[in-house]
Amino acid sequence: MIDKQKHQELLEYLRKTMKVPVKEKRIKAIKVNPANHWQPKMYIEVGRYYRDLEKDAPREKVTAIFESSIFYVCTATRGDMTGFPYLFARPDVKQVMSYDDDESYDENDTE
């Protein structure tokens, strides 16, 4: 988990780079059930290493996850103050776990 200052820096970087609103929520993990058939169901958690966050992507450690109209998964080379993050479509993200209040919610909830 990154500290709050680093989280804020990444948040501002993404807002500037992606030119879209990004929520301040500190996301711990997401469960993804991708529409792309080559990609398996995934549980993506900050601080863990993953391979194939997109087709043929190298093994990388996830440094942060952010929510906007889509979900941004940041690694040292993708979205963490350099380059573009890995992108996950909102319909593919089935559950979100947050650091802020230890909440977990399903994306299909209509609150």
pLDDT given for residue 102 in this prediction? 55
Enter the pTM of the model: 0.86
pLDDT for 23-63, tens place per residue?
999 999 999 998 877 778 999 999 999 988 988 899 999 99
State mean pLDDT over 95-102.
Answer: 80
- Angstrom distance (rounded) from CA 87 to CA 103: 22
State mean pLDDT over 82-92.
Answer: 94
- Angstrom distance (rounded) from CA 76 to CA 97: 21
Q: Which residues contact 107 (CB under 8 A, 6 or more apart)?
A: 90, 91, 93, 94, 95, 96
